[in-house]
Amino acid sequence: MDKYAVLKQYFGHDAFRPGQEALVDGILSGRDALGIMPTGGGKSLCYQVPALLLPGVTLVISPLISLMKDQVASLEAAGISAGFLNSSQTLEESRQVWGRVRRGECRLLYIAPERLENQRFLELAAALEIPLVAVDEAHCISQWGQDFRPSYLKIAAFVSALPRRPVLAAFTATATAQVQEDVVRQLDLRTPVRVVTGFDRPNLFFDVRRPRKKLPELLALLEERRGRSGIVYCATRSNVEKVWAELESRGFSAARYHAGLDEEERRISQEDFQYDRRQIMVATNAFGMGIDKSNVSFVLHYNMPKNLESYYQEAGRGGRDGEAADCVLLYGAGDVATARVLLTHGEGGDPEPRELERLNAMVDYCKTNDCLRGRILDYFGQPHPERCGGCGNCQGMFSQADVTVQAQMILSCIKRVRDRLGYYVGAALIVQVLRGGHSQRIKELGLDQLSTYGLMREETQERVRAYLDCLEATECVYTETEHGTLRPGAKANAVLFHGERVHMLSRVERQIEAPVRQKAERVPAAPPDQSLLAALRAERTRLARQEGVPPYIIFSNAALADMAARVPRTPEEFLEVSGVGQVKARRYGSAFLAVIAAWWEE
Ligand code: ADP
Ligand code: ZN
């Protein structure tokens, strides 16, 4: 069998994705490999296909116990014999796995890195034929990242101590050059084939909204998405509790997850979501690394994360099955303060300059009128067209307003306050003065005596904030980083004294269009029939219950959609469906063909 046959027969795919083939070829020719691909890019296939073509058992080092179990279940469902060893097993269970491995029955063996510290494991491993060691989430080896796992440092020594050095292949979604270099060095990869695929995820639709009140906006977004599965990320535990309670009271089926819940509660929540028993997961960023659910069709952020890496990683948990998914961030001015607190771990003081820089890039993303996808790709250093056509800003409509007068009011106010106090103050106080606020501080400082006090009494706070953002973008003002004070910028005098005009773009249409799937892997024959799709889904749920596995392990949403579009009538036609390999066709073909036949009857 060759790699194409393996791809089709076991995984049901017609072609490799960009980057996959080069990695597979490299590994098969005996070279080490480094694969950098976004979440959902298809990293697993890069070592699973070689594992089926090489003799012996491929060792996969993976940091997460929950993920391992799922991956092994997925492989088994596709007719590939695999096993895992981790601390969640009983002694008897791991004995059984060892038995299968020793008899040469397992093609892939998943282990947690900590296993490499176990002497018994090392002895047993030395007696095996291991052609390939695949390291998943390889960035965990880097001390620079937040996911550092000390046991990853043992991998290189383990590999070189084996009687025959296997091919070593490392995979991660983390793109920075520093992490890449760390992975190569710490794992001691030998002139690896390196593949860095594009970071774009064309099936994700990005949007940022700045609602006056977040909760009603969130509820509206979820209402439009009833019946679909998704994640709502919040910055704090208390927000998770608040949002979750609100959703429960409105009849949404939601689970919650944060570090304040005990282990058992977290496990139940995660499983409820994973097995589609609950459709929405409300969580802090504690939820994530361990999930491999492919049919997540939206990721909403109730708060802004602390940097774009985190945002893209979290948002990237949507649409892993290749189906369209949307990623909407609800931004409010308070988010910046919350993020700063999180950066200093609640200890006050100033965040590190590098962290602050990353936070600023995140804030810019929330405020920009440019293509949102473009902003993300810029951040990862990847070239892109100016407009993607598949984000809120590319699809939204903008109106341009002349805000020169407002700009002059704001600039004079900044100057007057400074003249009065002898120092500059932050944006929050300037906004209060302009809107004629009555706080104690304003009175004490005598700012209510200024001629600019209350000049913008008629405007909402959000509106004044929007002017400030525009002034910042046009260099009329800037925020000094050390104390966060607002100061006149390079263009201030031109606007105040030389007749230069200021224009503000604002998005008028903030309605999300139905997400367009940009790059289909394979264009379906016709749009899927919804009633058939529903019937296929029901069958999948039934089978999943029967077998005690999450539904997407039977078939992904993408596979069901393709099935509903193609409407196969025979086993041969069933094999044509994307994501259907021979074993799955044999195992589930008749059940799904029966559903299709019944649907035809009607
Ligand atoms: P990653 O580990 O990079 O996050 P996965 O390996 O979980 O991504 O793959 C994500 C999804 O893409 C899976 O649903 C998988 O079936 C699908 N996939 C991977 N390779 C291909 C391919 N060549 N053709 C079609 N679908 C693919
Ligand atoms: Zn765009």
Q: Which residues pair with 477 in a beta bridge?
A: 488
Please give the residue that has the higher pLDDT: either 175 or 205.
205
Which has the higher per-residue pLDDT, 403 or 514?
A: 403
Give the nearest ligand 1 atom to 7 CA: 23
Query: By alpha-carbon position, which residue is closest to atom 10 of ligand 1?
Result: 40
Find out whether 38 and 199 touch, Cβ atoms under 8 Å: yes
Residues shown for the chain: 602
Q: Residue 595 is encoded by which pair of tokens?
A: 């559903």
SS3 598: helix
The tokens of 559 are what?
Answer: 């596979």
| pLDDT, tens digit (0-9, with 9 covering 90-100), for 32-89 | 999 998 877 899 999 999 999 999 999 999 988 878 888 999 999 999 999 999 888 8
CA distance 68 to 60: 9
Ligand 1 binding residues, C-beta < 6 A: 13, 16-17, 20, 37, 39-45, 294, 320-322, 521, 556
Q: What separation in Å is there between the alpha carbon of 543 and the centre of ligand 1? A: 22
- Closest-approaching ligand to the CA atom of 395: 2
- What tokens appear for 441 in the block? 């501080």
pLDDT tens-digit map of 479-495? 887 788 999 999 999 99
Give the per-residue pLDDT at 175: 66
| Residue with CA nearest ligand 1 atom 5 | 42
SS (H, E, C) 188-255: CCCCCEEEECCCCCCCEEEEEECCCCHHHHHHHHHHHCCCCCEEEECCCHHHHHHHHHHHHHCCCCEE
Centroid of ligand 2 to alpha carbon of 220 (angstroms): 23
Taking a C-beta distance cutoff of 8 angstroms, is the pair 253, 273 a contact? Answer: no
List beta partners, residue 507.
398
Q: Report the pLDDT value the prediction gives residue 511, as an integer from 0 to 100.
A: 46
C-alpha span between 16 and 197 (Å, rounded): 13
CA of 119 to the centre of ligand 2 (A): 52
State yes or no: pLDDT of 222 exceeds 80.
Answer: yes
- φ and ψ at 215, to 5 degrees? -60, -50
Residue 439 contacts residue 429 (beta carbons within 8 Å): no
Per the structure block, which two tokens stand in for 345?
Answer: 């771990």
Q: Which residues fall within 8 angstroms of residue 166, CB to CB, at 6 or more apart?
A: 59, 130, 131, 132, 133, 159
Q: How far is residue 312's CA from residue 329's CA, in Å, rounded to a whole number?
A: 11
Q: Which pLDDT tens digit goes with each residue over 93-124?
A: 999 999 999 999 999 999 999 999 999 999 99
Is the distance from CB of 115 to CB of 85 less than 8 angstroms? yes
Query: Coil, strand, or helix at residue 437?
Result: coil
CA distance 78 to 588: 11
Residue 542's pLDDT is: 93
Counting from 1 in the atom list of ligand 1, the atom nearest the Cα of 294 is: 14
**Arithmetic mean of pLDDT, 376-396:** 88
Residue 348 has pLDDT above 70, yes or no: no
Lowest mean pLDDT among 1-15, 284-298, 405-419, 483-497: 284-298
Whether 523 has a pLDDT exceeding 50, the answer reads: no
Give the pairing type, strands 204-209 and 325-330: parallel
Query: Distance (Å, rounded) from C-alpha 572 to C-alpha 47?
Result: 28
Give the range with max mean pLDDT: 7-11, 378-382, 576-580: 7-11
pLDDT of 308 reads 92
Q: Which of 242, 136, 150, 208 is nearest to 392 (CA)?
A: 208
Higher pLDDT, 279 or 144: 279
Contact partners, residue 11, CB within 8 Å, separation at least 6: 45, 48, 49, 78, 579, 581
Rounded alpha-carbon distances, angstroms, from residue 448 to 179, 353, 406, 418, 459: 53, 35, 19, 14, 17
Looking at all shown ligands, the one closest to residue 206's CA atom is 2
For 180, the enclosing helix (H) or strand (E) is: helix 177-187
Residue 373 DSSP SS3: helix
Decide if pLDDT at 522 tops 50: no
Q: Residue 519: pLDDT band by 50, 70, 90 thresholds?
A: very low
**What is the number of the ligand closest to the CA of 384?**
2
* φ/ψ of residue 306, rounded to 5: -85, -15
Higher pLDDT, 175 or 519: 175
Query: Is the model's pLDDT at 12 over the cut of 70?
Result: yes
- pLDDT exceeds 70 at position 401: yes
The per-residue pLDDT for range 432-480, each reduced to its tens digit, is 999 999 999 999 999 999 999 999 998 888 889 889 988 998 899 998 8
Q: Is 572 exposed, middle or buried (0-12, 13-18, 19+ CB in 10 A)?
A: exposed
Ligand 2 centre from 383 Cα, in Å? 13
Strands (E), 3-95: 33-36, 58-61, 82-85
Distance 363 CA to ligand 2 centre (A): 17
Both tokens of 4, joined, read: 């194409």
pLDDT tens digits, one per residue of 537-591: 999 999 999 988 888 889 988 899 899 988 999 999 999 999 999 999 999 999 9
Question: Distance between CA 558 and CA 294 in Å, rounded?
Answer: 10
Quote the percentage of the chain above a pLDDT of 70.
95
Phi, then psi, of 134 in degrees rounded to 5: -105, 130
Q: Which ligand is nearest to the CA of 202?
A: 2
Per the model's pLDDT, the better-predicted residue between 210 and 519 turns out to be 210
Q: Which of 141-150, 306-315, 405-414, 448-457 has the lowest mean pLDDT?
A: 141-150
What value does the mean pLDDT of the chain take? 90
Q: Which atom of ligand 1 is nearest to the CA of 578?
A: 25
The enclosing H or E element of 342 equals helix 334-343
Cα–Cα distances in angstroms (integers) from residue 377 to residues 137, 175, 209, 308, 552, in the given order: 21, 11, 20, 10, 29
Of the pLDDT bands very low, low, confident and very high (cuts 50, 70, 90), residue 346 is low
| Cβ-based burial of 156 (10 A; exposed 0-12, middle 13-18, buried ≥19) | middle
How distant, in Å, are the alpha carbons of 71, 537, 593 from that of 532? 28, 9, 11
Q: pLDDT value at position 289?
A: 65
pTM beyond cutoff 0.85: no
Query: What pLDDT score does 489 carry?
Result: 94
pLDDT given at position 515: 43
Kindly calculate the radius of gyration of the chain based on its CA atoms and give it in whole angstroms. Answer: 27
3-state SS class at 109:
strand
Residue 152: pLDDT over 90: yes
Mutate to test the pocket of ligand 1, among 10, 45, 523 (most ligand atoms within 8 A of CB): 45
What is the residue-wise DSSP string for 561-593? HHHHHH---SHHHHHHSTT--HHHHHHHHHHHH
pLDDT given for residue 147 in this prediction: 80
- For ligand 1, pick from 13, 23, 39, 204 the residue to mutate: most ligand atoms within 8 Å of CB: 13
Nearest ligand for residue 6 CA: 1
Per-residue pLDDT tens over the stretch 290-341: 666 888 999 999 999 999 988 998 999 998 888 899 999 999 878 988 888 8
Token representation of residue 413? 């106010």
| pLDDT exceeds 90 at position 342 | no
The three-state secondary structure class of 59 is strand
CA 82, CA 105: separation in Å to the nearest integer? 8
Question: What is the best residue among 4, 34, 44, 201 to mutate for testing ligand 1's pocket, by most ligand atoms within 8 Å of CB?
Answer: 44
Nearest CA to ligand 1 atom 25: 13
Residue 510's pLDDT band (boundaries 50, 70, 90)? very low
Closest residue to atom 19 of ligand 1, CA basis:
42
Q: Tell me: pLDDT of 386 over 50.
A: yes
